[in-house]
Amino acid sequence: MRIILVRHGETRWNREHRIQGLADLDLNETGRKQAQALAEALRNERVSAIYTSPLRRAMDTAAAIARYHPVEMTVLDGLKELDAGEVDGMTYDEMRENHADFLVKWLEDCSSIRVPGGCTLQELQDQVWSAIDHIRSRHEVDEDQAVQERSIVVVAHFFPILSILCKALSLDLSQCRRLRLGLASICTLDFNSDRIVLVSMNDTCHLKQLG
């Protein structure tokens, strides 16, 4: 089974470099163009289902992709972004002013600390991996069926996708900041019977046309 992980397009807070957790923002104009570019990039994929976080920026991105694929689009709460609690909507300068101790520890090892009023990365990873297990159980295929014949698109957010990649590659969550994940990027994982294979990582070639 192939799972295509898609990060949503740009929002106003992404442009302003604000922490964006469960705050429910729409895509901005750039984000809508990115979503369309994603849709074009995935247009020829053999997609059997599309799953999305319930947050609007992800749902709008998924809806753009779904226009080219007459398949079920399912909303899963487990794909939501990290609960950023009290720092949701803050810039890094505002975090330094209001949550300096937390920010220092977060930059040292984001996997070892709870976001003020929010959750931990471990809790998030448990949440999103449960969603991935649910998706896999719904779309199991026979072992003799080629992996490439069925692709599942999963539209989510920065930390959920990083958490999935770390789990899939047996990386400690503390290593997640070593992985680059741009807006409107694509990562692809093949779930084989004996192992998970990373096929592509942070693919943003489809955005070059946008400048």
Region 123-128: mean pLDDT is 98
> 62, 64, 61: which is closest to 74 by C-alpha?
62
Query: Could you identify the residue written with the tokens 């999103």?
Result: 128
Q: Kindly state the helix (H) or strand (E) to which residue 51 belongs, with its residue range.
A: strand 47-52
pTM: 0.94
Host domain of residue 59: 2-210
Positions annotated as catalytic residues are 8, 81
Q: What is the distance between the alpha carbons of residues 33 and 95, in angstroms, rounded to a whole number?
A: 30
CB 185 within 8 A of CB 36: no
CB 35 within 8 A of CB 59: no
Beta partners for 74?
A: 51
Per-residue pLDDT tens digits for 154-170: 999 999 999 999 999 99
- Count the domains in the chain: 1
Q: Return the DSSP state at 22.
A: S
Helical residues (DSSP H) of 42-196, grouped into ranges: 56-66, 92-98, 100-108, 121-138, 158-168
Per-residue pLDDT tens digits for 37-81: 999 999 999 999 999 999 999 999 999 999 999 998 999 999 999
Question: Helix or strand or coil: residue 36?
Answer: helix
CB 177 within 8 A of CB 28: no
Angle between helices 56-66 and 29-41 (to 10 degrees): 40
CATH number at residue 145: 3.40.50.1240
